[in-house]
Amino acid sequence: MFDNLTERLSRTLKNVSGRGRLTEDNIKETLREVRMALLEADVALPVVREFVKRVKEAAVGIEVSKSLTPGQEFIKIVQKELEAVMGESNSALDLTCQPPAVVLMAGLQGAGKTTSVGKLGKMLCETEKKKVLVVSADVYRPAAIKQLETLANDVGIDFFPSTPDQKPVDIAKAAIEHGKLKFYDVVIVDTAGRLHVDGEMMDEIKDVHATINPVETLFVVDAMTGQDAANTAKAFNDALPLTGVVLTKVDGDARGGAALSVRHITGKPIKFLGVGEKTDALEPFHPDRVASRILGMGDMLSLIEDIERNVDKDKAEALAKKFKNKKGFDLQDFHDQLQQMKNMGGMMGMLDKLPGMSNLPEDVKDKVDDKMFVQMEAIINSMTLKERARPDLIKGSRKKRIAAGSGTQVQDVNRLLKQFTQMQKMMKKMQKGGMKNMMRNMKGMMPGGGMFPR
């Protein structure tokens, strides 16, 4: 996520380090490079101009505080202005109204509207305990309605049926009526993709909007379209009063131009980021966290939230208890850990959020292969419960049996056992040191640190 921009900026900002103090002269060159980095990231020109101007104004003449170097002071200013340009703080959905709260989704074809309906429904249901109903008013694309139905089933929220011969307005009205009768908290209305220049289609969605009067009208847009995302959002907003933007496919966006342009160009907040195809790959948008991510300082808060959300609470508690009872960490626990890591978007998903990780060379990143988790799990699956509890039993013939059972080689089994031993050591340390230690140790798990020697 935003890798190119992060790399450029961190290289640039390093250059300020070590110089005297922040004067117009000593930041001139860096500012020029920041400007280039933003333009390369496809940030819209008016945003770049305003941003550079504000950073300059904030920086020039500033007293560098004793505890910081000029470079650090400058980064602090850049960070603050990055936050400001993205909207200062998180804008959550505002669903306060007579229920059901209606959310209308709009956007171009393929932007990720339907996927986002599913993700958002799941999130509202799971984290806010809302009773959610979804409905599709996409009567144009074959199978669009079915797509939403399948998705709703997958994430366990209710789906209101519709058919392609109905009018979108009637579909939305019927769903909301049903929502009222059955005491739903939220009704999310999915719509067909459309271009803002298509008058007829825009009239249709304006009509739907006027009829159902949603509390939230979200524009869903693909981050990979860069500053175009901001421009189409603005064009839509001129026809349809938007309350916010969902930026999708951020996982594939190395540049960050959309994230940095949308707020300034449209005046509307980004409310969510879509960060993957899976149904839990939706994150509330926090400008401060994204700013630190862009600056390569990691995103500890998001990571911690991820951990809290995804780690299976019962298993985590069982594990904690086990520590207390001093029974120690066995292969079954290791197996559970692997599964939980997978739930958190795999190793790469986690590493992305750790400070400094964006500076890892690509070939090192490649070695942190999520497929390896699958293999590791398969190996443990081939062990008996007794072997999982007492790894010291696993010797020659058992190793051969396990390798055969999991479709791997004995050397793979050996590697897993070695990794397990390292994990076990780390767990012991964690018992003593808590989160801070864990973070330090996770870095130690990187290639070279020995966790995945290859």
374 in helix, strand or coil? helix
Q: 193 a known binding residue?
A: yes
Rounded to an integer, what distance in angstroms lies between the CA atom of residue 431 and that of residue 424? Answer: 11
Q: Which two tokens stand for residue 301?
A: 């808060």
CA distance readout (Å), 36 to 12, 119, 240, 297: 10, 35, 34, 21
- Please say which residue, 113 or 415, places its beta carbon nearer to Mg ion: 113
146 contributes a contact to ligand GDP by CB under 6 A = no
| 363: exposed, middle or buried (Cβ count in 10 Å: 0-12, 13-18, 19+) | exposed
Shortest distance in whole angstroms from residue 276 CB to ligand GDP? 5
Q: 34 a known binding residue?
A: no
Shortest distance in whole angstroms from residue 279 CB to ligand GDP? 10
Place of tokens 């709009």: 106
* Residue span binding ligand GDP (CB under 6 A) among the ranges 207-215, 245-253, 290-298, 324-332: 245-253
- Please say which residue, 302 or 337, places its beta carbon nearer to ligand GDP: 302
Shortest distance in whole angstroms from residue 192 CB to Mg ion? 7
Shortest distance in whole angstroms from residue 391 CB to Mg ion? 49
111 contributes a contact to ligand GDP by CB under 6 A = yes
Task: Give the chain's end-to-end CA distance (angstroms, integer).
Answer: 26
φ/ψ of 188, rounded to 5, equals -105, 125
277 contributes a contact to ligand GDP by CB under 6 A = yes
Q: 365 a known binding residue?
A: no
Instruction: Identify the helix (H) or strand (E) that includes residue 218.
Output: strand 216-222
Shortest distance in whole angstroms from residue 347 CB to ligand GDP? 18
154 contributes a contact to ligand GDP by CB under 6 A = no
* Residue span binding ligand GDP (CB under 6 A) among the ranges 110-118, 314-322, 402-410, 439-447: 110-118
Q: Please tell me whether the peptide bond between 70 and the residue prior to it is cis, using omega within 30 degrees of 0.
A: no
The residues with which 160 forms a beta bridge, in sequence order, are 135
349 contributes a contact to ligand GDP by CB under 6 A = no
60 in helix, strand or coil? coil
200 in helix, strand or coil? helix
Q: Which does 218 bind (CB under 5 to 8 A by kind): Mg ion, ligand GDP, none?
A: none
Residues 281, 274 contacting (CB under 8 angstroms): yes
Per CB under 6 A, the list member of 30, 248, 408, 419 interacting with ligand GDP is 248
Which letter does DSSP use for residue 354 in this model? Answer: S
DSSP string for 147-199: HHHHHHHHHT-EEE---TTS-HHHHHHHHHHHHHHTT-SEEEEEE----TT-H
Q: 399 a known binding residue?
A: no
- Please say which residue, 146 or 425, places its beta carbon nearer to ligand GDP: 146
Per CB under 6 A, the list member of 179, 226, 276, 345 interacting with ligand GDP is 276
* Residue span binding ligand GDP (CB under 6 A) among the ranges 120-128, 176-184, 270-278, 350-358: 270-278
Radius of gyration for the chain, computed over Cα atoms and rounded to the nearest angstrom: 25
Q: 96 a known binding residue?
A: no
Place of tokens 């945003």: 47
Q: 112 a known binding residue?
A: yes
Q: Which does 110 bind (CB under 5 to 8 A by kind): Mg ion, ligand GDP, none?
A: ligand GDP
Site residue total, ligand GDP (CB under 6 A): 19
Per CB under 6 A, the list member of 107, 121, 256, 287 interacting with ligand GDP is 107
Q: Which amino acid is at 40?
A: E
Q: Which two tokens stand for residue 383?
A: 């062990």
Rounded to an integer, what distance in angstroms lies between the CA atom of residue 417 and that of residue 227? Answer: 49
Per CB under 6 A, the list member of 102, 175, 275, 351 interacting with ligand GDP is 275
Which letter does DSSP use for residue 225 in this model? Answer: G
Per CB under 6 A, the list member of 130, 249, 263, 415 interacting with ligand GDP is 249
Residues 245, 218 contacting (CB under 8 angstroms): yes
* Residue 311 CB neighbour total at 10 angstroms: 18
* Residue span binding ligand GDP (CB under 6 A) among the ranges 255-263, 269-277, 287-295, 312-320: 269-277
Residues 76, 17 contacting (CB under 8 angstroms): no
Residues 190 to 229: which contact ligand GDP by CB under 6 A? 193, 220
**Pick from 250, 247, 187: which is nearest to 219 by CA?**
247
Q: Which two tokens stand for residue 227?
A: 């500053």
Q: 108 a known binding residue?
A: yes
Per CB under 6 A, the list member of 46, 110, 164, 328 interacting with ligand GDP is 110
Shortest distance in whole angstroms from residue 231 CB to ligand GDP? 18
123 contributes a contact to ligand GDP by CB under 6 A = no
The residues with which 219 forms a beta bridge, in sequence order, are 106, 245
Q: Which does 107 bind (CB under 5 to 8 A by kind): Mg ion, ligand GDP, none?
A: ligand GDP
Q: 109 a known binding residue?
A: yes
Q: Which residue is nearest to ligand GDP (CB)?
A: 274
Q: 448 a known binding residue?
A: no
Binding residues: 107-114, 190-194, 248-251
Q: Which residues are annotated as a binding site for GTP?
A: 107-114, 190-194, 248-251
Footprint of ligand GDP on this chain (CB under 6 A)?
A: 107, 109-115, 193, 220, 248-249, 251-252, 274-277, 281
